[in-house]
Homo-oligomer: A and B are copies of this chain.
Amino acid sequence: MSTGSSSDPSATLAALAGETQLADRVRFVVELDRLKQVLRRTVVTDDRRRENTAEHSWHVAMMALVLADAADEPVDPMRVAKMLLVHDIVEIDAGDTFVYDVEGQESRAARERAAAERLFGLLPDDQGDELQDCWLEFEHGTTADARFARALDRLQPLLLNHASAGQAWREHGITAAQVRAVNSMIGDGSAALWELAQHLIGDAISRGWLPETGR
């Protein structure tokens, strides 16, 4: 049973799993654990620590189950949830890019493509291709499911920013014009949720959490 003195848990795991396809899948599962170390700018509402990408992914997947009726076009809640479970896995290698970071957004596509190659490449071919297609569908945003998934991915930090008195906005000097520009894509998936988002933005302005223009 002993695997000797190897100190690489991933290699040990592969040896222990025996059958190659299962070993590859289990190594991918252990690799996924690293998404819990990727920090976003948004803070969680209770203790105001920065949110990590794994818990964000759970939160938006749950939103797909709960809010699917608010989509403008018919969507499959579980397809949307699947896309949202998978959409940020590339951040294990590429890191989180703040939506208001213009330079970061320019280099984001190339960094994330390389990350997708490596990470989904850990899986057996058919399964890696399936998850990569799922990620690309989200990135391209050309299906009804993807448009709604992207709307939820924008609405979630807006809800947390509102619930935390605009903490991430204030820390990074974000203006209402920037928030509207970045989040208007919510309207591509759901008019009702974009209306809610605009109310939240207006409320944040009126409470002094979000300036109309820069300092």
A206 is an interface residue with CB less than 8 A from chain B: yes
| Bound-complex Cα distance A138 to B131 (A) | 25
Tell me if B1 and A202 are in contact (CB < 8 A).
yes
| Bound-complex Cα distance A22 to B63 (A) | 12
- Complex contacts, A195 vs chain B, CB 8 Å: 18
| Bound-complex Cα distance A52 to B44 (A) | 12
User: How many subunits of this chain does the assembly comprise?
Assistant: 2
**Can you give 19 contacting A-B residue pairs, CB < 8 Å?**
A1-B199, A1-B202, A1-B206, A2-B203, A13-B163, A17-B196, A18-B196, A22-B70, A22-B192, A22-B196, A26-B196, A30-B45, A33-B160, A36-B55, A52-B55, A57-B58, A65-B86, A78-B81, A81-B85
Q: Which A residues contact B (CB, under 8 angstroms)?
A: 1-3, 9, 12-13, 16-19, 22, 25-26, 28-30, 32-37, 44-47, 51-52, 54-55, 57-59, 61-63, 65-67, 70, 78, 81-82, 85-86, 123, 127, 131, 156, 159-160, 162-163, 192, 195-196, 199-200, 202-203, 205-207
